[in-house]
Amino acid sequence: MKAIIVEGGGLRGAFAAGVLDAFMADNDVNFDLHLGTSAGAILLSSYLAKQPMRSITILKDPRTKSAFKRFSDFLKGGDFLDLDLLFEIGEEIQPLDIEQIFSNPKKEFYATLSNVDSGKLEVNKPTKKDLKHVIMATSALPLVVRNPIEIDGKRFLDGGITMPIPLQTAIDLGATEILVIRSRPTGYRNDGKSSKLMSRLLKRSMPELSKALLSRADVYNDTVDLIENPPEGLKIQQIQPVQSLSCSRLGGTDIELTRDYLLGIEMGKAWIAQTHRENRIKGLQSQR
C-alpha cells in the first residue's frame, strides 16, 4: 500500500503545492493513503480534488494576505489568523471540488488533530459534511487562533503539535511504501525552543496541550530518524528542499511564494523521473 504524507508549515506549503501540481500532471503517480498535517491537509484536499494551481493561486491572492497577521483583531481578542475568512476566500477564488475528493473510496484521506483537553493525537478521516472543520482544526495554530475548533463535542488545534509528520500513522494503516513531502531542508532538526515557549504560554489555559508541546521536538526528530533509517520491509522516500525555503510560516512575498512553488515543481518532476527509471529497471530485470 502506497501513502503520501505532506508536512505542514504555513506559507512554506508553496513548495509542497508545487510538488503536488507536478504529480497531478503525471497520470502514473498514485497513492492509496493521503495524510496531511496543518497546511499539508489543505494542500492534499486540492490534490485529491484534482485542481492544479488552486493552492498557489489562493496563496498569492491579495485577499488571502488579509486573513494573515490581523494585529488589530488580535489586540481586540480576535485571531491573528482568520481561518474562516481564509476558507471563504479560497472558495471565492476557486471552489474546492468536494465531490471529486470523495469520488474514489480507495483513495483515503486523513488529517491529524491535537485534542486540546487530552493533549493526544487524533487521526480524523473527514467526510463531506465536516471537511471544512477538520481542515480548519488541523491548521489552527495555538495563540495564532485563540479558540479551538470544535468537532463532535471535542476541541482541537493544529495537528502538528502532537504529530508533525504522521509517519507512524501511515505505517499503522498498512502503508509499506511512503513518500513524505517536507517543508524543512535536509539536515533540519527541531531544537524545541518555540514549542517550549508556547508551552509556557498555554500552561494555564490548556495544560494537557502544554505538556504535549514539551515533547514535540523529540517526536519530530524521532520521526525524521525513522524516515532516514526505515526498518526492513518498509520503503520511505522524501522530497524536501536542499536549503531553507524563501517563505516563513506566516510570511512570504509573491516572488518568494513563486520561487518556492517552482522549486517544488522541479523536485516533484525529478522524483517522477527517478521513479519511472526505477520502474523500467525493475521491468527489465523481471523479463530476464
Model pTM? Answer: 0.93
Q: Which of 142, 122, 141, 228 is nearest to 182 (CA)?
A: 228
What CA–CA distances, in Å, run from 197 to 121, 146, 264?
Answer: 20, 16, 31
Q: Does residue 252 carry a pLDDT above 80?
A: yes
Q: 110-114, 205-209, 275-279: which has the minimum mean pLDDT? A: 275-279
**How far apart are alpha carbons 197 and 203 in whole angstroms?**
10
State pLDDT tens for residues 40-61.
999 999 999 999 999 999 999 9
Query: What is the set of active-site residues?
Result: 38, 158
Q: State the distance between the two ends of the chain, measured CA to CA, in whole angstroms.
A: 26
Element (H, E) at 209: helix 207-214
| Cβ contact 139:83 at 8 Å | yes
For residues 186 and 240, the answer to whether their CB atoms sit within 8 Å is yes
| Contact indicator for 156, 137 with CB cutoff of 8 Å | yes
Q: pLDDT value at position 68?
A: 63
CA-to-CA separations, 26 to 133, 215, 271, in angstroms, rounded: 30, 39, 11
Whether 89 and 64 have beta carbons less than 8 Å apart is answered as: yes
Nearest by Cα to 46 from 8, 15, 17, 5: 17
Nine cell digits for residue 168: 507512524
Q: Minimal CA–CA distance to 37: which of 180, 225, 231, 171? A: 180
Q: Cβ contacts of residue 170 below 8 Å, gap of 6+?
A: 3, 5, 33, 35, 178
Mean pLDDT is lowest, of 11-25, 63-77, 117-131, for 63-77
CA–CA dist 114, 71 (Å, integer): 25
Q: What is the structure's pLDDT at 182? A: 96
Query: pLDDT tens for residues 266-282?
Result: 999 999 999 988 777 77
Distance CA 50, CA 97 (A): 8
Residues comprising the chain, all counted: 288
Chain centroid, CA 18 distance in Å: 13
